Structure 1
Amino acid sequence: MNIHGSQAVRQRRRLIMVLVIIAACAVGFAVGRFWMHVQNPIMQEREFRNLSYAYNQIMDGYLEGASPKSLVNGAIEGMVASLGDPYSVYLTEDKGEQFIQSYEDHFVGIGVTIREQDGEFIIEEVIKEAPAEKAGLKRGDVLLKVDGTPVKGMAFDKLMTTVRGQEGTVVKLQVRREGLAEPLELPVTRGSVPVHTVSFEMKEDGIGVITISRFADKTGDEFDSAIKALESKGMKKLLLDLRSNPGGLLEPTIHIANRFVPKGETILQVVYKDEKRVITHKSEQKEPWKLPIAVLVDGNTASSAEVLAAALKDTANAAVIGEQTFGKGVVQQFRQLSDGSVLKLTEAQWRSPDGQWIHKKGIKPTIAVPAPAYTLLPRLPAGLKLKEGDYGERVETVQQMLQVLGYDTGAPFGVFNAATTEAVKAFQRSEAIPADGIINDRTAYRMTTRLMEKFRAEDPQMLTAMEELRKTGG
Structure 2
Amino acid sequence: MNERGTAARQRLATWWVLGAAAVLIVGFGAGRISMLVQYPVLKEKVFANFNASYKEIKQDFLFGAEPEALLNGATKGMLASLDDPYSVYLPGSEGQDFVQSYQPEFVGIGVQVRQEEGRYLVDSVIKDTPAEKGGLQIGDEIVQVDGTPVKGISMDKLVSLLRGAEGTKVKVALARAGVPQLAVELTRAPIPVTTVTHAMLEDGVGRITISRFAESTAKEFETSLQALLDKGMSKLVLDLRSNPGGLLTPTIDIASRLVPKDKLILEVDYKDEKKVQKYFSKQKEKLDLQIAVIVNGQTASAGEVLAAALKESAGATVVGTTTFGKGIVQSFGQFKDKSVLKLTEAQWKTPGGQSIHKKGVEPDVKVELPAYATLPMLPTGEESKQGDYGDYVKTLQTMLEALGYPAAPVPGVFGEQTTEAVRGFQRDNDLEATGVVGDKTSHALMEKLRDKLQKEDPQLRKALDQLGE
- Shorter-chain TM-score category? over 0.9
Q: Does 1:87 align with 2:86?
A: yes
Rounded Cα–Cα distance in structure 2 between residues aligned with 1:42 and 1:104: 34
**Which residue is 1:312 aligned to?**
310
**Which residue is 1:197 aligned to?**
195
Say which is worse superposed, 6-15 or 136-145, in terms of deviation: 6-15
Rounded Cα–Cα distance in structure 2 between residues aligned with 1:440 and 1:115: 14
**Which residue is 1:19 aligned to?**
18
Rounded Cα–Cα distance in structure 1 between residues aligned with 2:213 and 2:333: 18
Rounded Cα–Cα distance in structure 2 between residues aligned with 1:394 and 1:330: 35
C-alpha displacement of 1:411: 1.3
Rounded Cα–Cα distance in structure 1 between residues aligned with 2:274 and 2:23: 41
Q: Does 1:389 align with 2:387?
A: yes
**Which residue is 2:71 aligned to?**
72
C-alpha displacement of 1:28: 1.1
Say which is worse superposed, 347-356 or 39-48, in terms of deviation: 39-48
**Which residue is 1:46 aligned to?**
45
C-alpha displacement of 1:14: 2.2
Rounded Cα–Cα distance in structure 2 between residues aligned with 1:210 and 1:405: 28
> Are the counterparts in 1 of residues 41 and 47 from structure 2 also a CA contact under 8 Å?
yes
- Secondary structure (helix, strand or coil) at the match of 1:183 reads strand
Task: Classify 1:161/1:287 alpha carbon distance in 2 versus 1 (closer, same or farther; 3 Å).
Answer: closer
Q: Once the two structures are superposed, what CA deviation does each residue of 1:444-472 show, in whole Å capped at 9, x if it has no partner?
A: 1100110000000000000111121122x
C-alpha displacement of 1:434: 0.9
> Are the counterparts in 2 of residues 314 and 353 from structure 1 also a CA contact under 8 Å?
yes
Q: Once the two structures are superposed, what CA deviation does each residue of 1:16-67 show, in whole Å capped at 9, x if it has no partner?
A: 2122111110111112112222232211111111110011111111121111
Q: Does 1:245 align with 2:243?
A: yes
TM-score (normalizing by structure 1): 0.97
User: Quick one: which of 426, 440, 452 aligns to 1:454?
Assistant: 452
**Which residue is 2:229 aligned to?**
231
Aligned runs of 1:124-203 on 2, under 5 Å? 124-178=123-177, 180-203=178-201
Rounded Cα–Cα distance in structure 2 between residues aligned with 1:56 and 1:230: 64
- Secondary structure (helix, strand or coil) at the match of 1:97 reads helix
> Are the counterparts in 2 of residues 244 and 300 from structure 1 also a CA contact under 8 Å?
yes
Q: Once the two structures are superposed, what CA deviation does each residue of 1:324-347 show, in whole Å capped at 9, x if it has no partner?
A: 111011000000111100000000
**Which residue is 1:339 aligned to?**
337
User: Quick one: which of 290, 294, 297 aligns to 1:296?
Assistant: 294
> Are the counterparts in 1 of residues 313 and 351 from structure 2 also a CA contact under 8 Å?
yes
Count of residue pairs brought into register by the alignment: 469
What are the ranges of 5 or more consecutive residues in structure 1 without an aligned counterpart?
A: none
C-alpha displacement of 1:154: 2.5
User: Quick one: which of 216, 219, 230 aligns to 1:218?
Assistant: 216
**Which residue is 1:442 aligned to?**
440
TM-score (normalizing by structure 2): 0.98
Rounded Cα–Cα distance in structure 2 between residues aligned with 1:129 and 1:360: 43
- Secondary structure (helix, strand or coil) at the match of 1:205 reads coil
Rounded Cα–Cα distance in structure 1 between residues aligned with 2:120 and 2:233: 42
State the percentage of identical aligned residues.
51
What are the ranges of 5 or more consecutive residues in structure 2 without an aligned counterpart?
A: none
Rounded Cα–Cα distance in structure 2 between residues aligned with 1:351 and 1:215: 19
**Which residue is 2:319 aligned to?**
321
Q: Once the two structures are superposed, what CA deviation does each residue of 1:173-199 show, in whole Å capped at 9, x if it has no partner?
A: 011123x32111111111211011100
> Are the counterparts in 1 of residues 265 and 350 from structure 2 also a CA contact under 8 Å?
yes
Q: Once the two structures are superposed, what CA deviation does each residue of 1:209-243 show, in whole Å capped at 9, x if it has no partner?
A: 00000011011111111111111111121111000
C-alpha displacement of 1:5: 4.2
Q: Which amino acid aligns with 2:350?
A: S
C-alpha displacement of 1:135: 2.0
Rounded Cα–Cα distance in structure 2 between residues aligned with 1:153 and 1:260: 48
Rounded Cα–Cα distance in structure 2 between residues aligned with 1:291 and 1:155: 47
Q: Which amino acid aligns with 2:355?
A: W
Rounded Cα–Cα distance in structure 2 between residues aligned with 1:162 and 1:273: 43
> Are the counterparts in 2 of residues 306 and 325 from structure 1 also a CA contact under 8 Å?
yes
Q: Which amino acid aligns with 1:258?
A: S
C-alpha displacement of 1:3: 4.6
C-alpha displacement of 1:150: 2.0
> Are the counterparts in 1 of residues 234 and 288 from structure 2 also a CA contact under 8 Å?
no
Q: Once the two structures are superposed, what CA deviation does each residue of 1:360-407 show, in whole Å capped at 9, x if it has no partner?
A: 000111111111111111111211211111111111111111111111
User: Quick one: which of 341, 346, 349 aligns to 1:348?
Assistant: 346
Rounded Cα–Cα distance in structure 1 between residues aligned with 2:88 and 2:111: 28
Rounded Cα–Cα distance in structure 2 between residues aligned with 1:3 and 1:60: 61
| Alignment RMSD (CA, Å) | 1.2
> Are the counterparts in 2 of residues 131 and 193 from structure 1 also a CA contact under 8 Å?
no
**Which residue is 1:425 aligned to?**
423
Q: Which amino acid aligns with 1:43?
A: L
Rounded Cα–Cα distance in structure 2 between residues aligned with 1:355 and 1:85: 23
Q: Which amino acid aligns with 2:224?
A: A
Q: Which amino acid aligns with 1:183?
A: Q
- Secondary structure (helix, strand or coil) at the match of 2:466 reads helix
